[in-house]
Chain A
C-alpha cells in the first residue's frame, strides 16, 4: 500500500521493518525527523527497541558498537557535522567488522555554517571502509535500508553501511512510498546471525592491538570484503526485486538511456531525477549513469557502460579542494583503462543547498567534451 511520507520517515520505517534492537541517536538537521519518527514508533509500541539518547554523535556510533558486539542489530542516523564527529568511530566500526546500518541525510560541512544539502559529508568518509549507497527517492531510501542490512550482515561482507540521501531534497520532501509488510521483510532479511559476540563460556577479546606484522592482513581482509560486497549488492538487488517487485539498476549503478548514448552524465543521488527530465527533452543521444554504490565503487560496470561514449559530464555536489570533484576523480580513474577514452568534464553544482537547475544540467551536457572543471551557477 502506498503512503505519502518524507525521506526521513521512509528511512525510519525502513529501519523499523528490519527490527533493530538498539538505536542510539543524536539529533542533527536534516536527519532529525528520522530520529523523531523512530521515537514515535517506539512510543506507540510499533517498534520494540531501546533508543539511547546519547550526548553526541561520537557516542551514538560508539553505543552501536557496544550493542552490536552483544549480537544485536543496531541502527543510527546522522548528517554533516555529526558524521564528521563520528569520523574515527567509522573506521573503528568497520575495522571491528560490525554490520551497522546508518542513515545519512547529506548536508554541507561548516564553515560557513550551512544546514542545506550537498554530499561533502559522506564523500569525505569514503576511505572509512563503509559501504555507501546514494538514493534517488524516498522509496529507494526505505528499500536501501532493508537491502543494506542484508548486504552488510552477509558473512562474506561484514562491513557497515551508510544509506545516503540528499538533505531536504529527499529528507524533507514527501512522496508516495510503497511500505512492505513486516512479514515480507522478516522473510527477506531473516534473523541476524552475528559473526562473533560476547559469550560467557567462550570469552572474547574484541579490539586487540595489532602490530605491524598483523595490521596489514586485517586491512587486506577489509578490501577483500569490499570486493565481495559488489557481487552481494547485485544479488541482493535481484532478490529484492523478486520479493518486492522493485530494483535499482544492477544494484551498483542505475543506467538511463544508455543504449546508444554518445554523451553521458554521471552523478549521485536525487539530481539524477532532474537530469532525466533534461535529457528526455534533448535531441542529442544523452544517457545518465547514477552511481548508487559509491563504496564499493563500480569501476568495471562504469567501464562497460561507458565504452563507446564520446564525452562524459560528471556532476559533483562535493569537492576535494586543491584537486577536483570527488566523484569525478573516481570516474576518471575507473575509465583510464578504456582503450578509447572519452572526454570527461567536471561540474560542481548545488553546494550548500544551492538549487540544481535544469539549465545547470543542460550546461553540463553541452560542455561535457571540454575536459575542464566548471563551478556552475556561481556569482563573480
Chain B
C-alpha cells in the first residue's frame, strides 16, 4: 500500500505505545470496529487525556457502573452535547492554568455527530474550542437497534429504512460531514479507518498537536448493524478504502491530501456483497452506487490538485 504526506509508509504495530487506556472488559459486540478504533485513538492521546463521550454504543459498553474500561479521565453527559461539554472543559482548564496538562477529545458516534449533536459541534467549531472531535461512524443508530442516521449510505437496509417489496432501503446519500467541518475553518480534519490503524494513530497525534478545533472521521464497521461475520471487520474496513466507499484523506490548513490512493479502485460490489444490509441490491442499484463513488473519487482527486481550497480561520 502507499501512504502519502505525513502519514507513515507502513502499517506496522511497531513503535505504537503498549499501554492501553481503553482496556479489555468492555461489553462491545464481538468484532466491534469502534472498540478497535478507540484503543488506537487512546494510544495516540495517552494518559493525560480527558475524553467526552455522548450517549451511544461506546458509552453503554464501556461504563456499566461500577466498572469502567477507561484508564483516563472520561465524562458522559447526554446525547447531543459532547461538543458543548468539551467547550466547558476547555474554558475551565484555561481558567485554572491547566490547559496544557491535558489533551481534550470528544469521541462520538455518527448519530451524536451528524444528527442530534451537530448544532453543538458546529457551535464549538465556531467558538474555536481547543479540542479534537472524533466521530466513530458505524453508519447507523446501532445502540438503539440499527436505525438510519444521516451517515447511513444510500440504499442500506436499516430497521427504519428496511428493504421491502416497494423499498430499496435508504433513499438519501451520506452527509459529507468531514468537508462540512473543514468549511468551518478548522486547521485539521481527516478521515481514517481501523485497518489503516497507523494512519489513524498519526492523524490523532497530528490533530492533538494543532490548537483549536480538529475533526477525525473514523470509519468503524459494525458486524451487528451491517450484518457481516464478526471476523470480517478489518476486511470490511480495508475494502471500504480500496473500493472508494470511504476514501482516506486529510485537510490540513485548507489543503486536501489523499492519504491512500489505490492504483485502481476495486469494484464496489466486493464491498457491498459482504454485508447483509446491501443483500437486497439489484444490479442496477450497484451500478448506480458505483457511478456515484467514481464521481466522488474524481472530485476528491480534483480537490487535491486545487491546493489551498478550504479557508482556515486564524486563531488569536
Contacts and interface: CB of A to CB of B under 8 A. Distances in A.
B286 interface: no
B106 to A, nearest CB: 10
Nearest to A58: B81
Nearest to A60: B84
Given A59-B120, A66-B75, A208-B76, A52 B65 contact: no
B76 A66 contact: no
Contacts of B89: 66-67, 69-70, 198
B85 A65 contact: yes
Interface stretch (A151-159, A209-217, A301-309, A334-342): A209-217
Contacts of B63: 205, 207-209
Q: How large is the interface on B (under 10, 10 to 19, 20 to 34, 35 or more residues)?
A: 35 or more
A45 interface: no
A73 B85 CA distance: 15
A74 B77 contact: no
A66 B85 contact: yes
A173 interface: no
B100 to A, nearest CB: 12
Nearest to B104: A66
Contacts of B119: 55-56, 59
B59 interface: yes
A58 B120 contact: yes
A63 B85 CA distance: 4
A96 B78 CA distance: 11
Interface stretch (B28-36, B121-129, B200-208, B301-309): B121-129
B101 interface: yes
B48 interface: yes
A245 interface: no
A67 B104 CA distance: 13
Given A24-B88, A54-B84, A67-B91, A209 B64 contact: yes
A50 B68 contact: no
Interface residues of A, number: 43
B19 to A, nearest CB: 13
Contact of A55 (B73, B93, B101, B126): B126
Given A21-B95, A59-B81, A66-B92, A207 B76 contact: yes
Given A59-B87, A62-B88, A50 B94 contact: yes
A22 interface: yes
A145 interface: no
A113 to B, nearest CB: 21
Interface string B149-165: 00000000000000000
Interface string A16-44: 00000110100000000000000000000
A24 B87 contact: yes
B92 A205 contact: no
Given A207-B76, A209-B64, A62 B81 contact: yes
Contact of A206 (B75, B78, B80): B75
B190 interface: no
Interface in A317-367: none
Contact of A63 (B80, B91, B102): B91
Q: 8 nearest interchain CB pairs?
A: A66-B88, A55-B123, A63-B88, A59-B84, A207-B76, A62-B81, A70-B92, A62-B84
10 contacts: A21-B92, A21-B95, A21-B96, A52-B87, A70-B93, A71-B96, A198-B89, A200-B73, A204-B75, A208-B65
Interface of A: 21-22, 24, 48-50, 52-56, 58-60, 62-72, 74, 88-89, 92, 96, 198-200, 203-211, 214
Given A72-B92, A204-B73, 11 more contacts: A21-B95, A22-B95, A54-B84, A55-B123, A62-B120, A70-B98, A198-B89, A203-B71, A205-B74, A208-B64, A209-B59
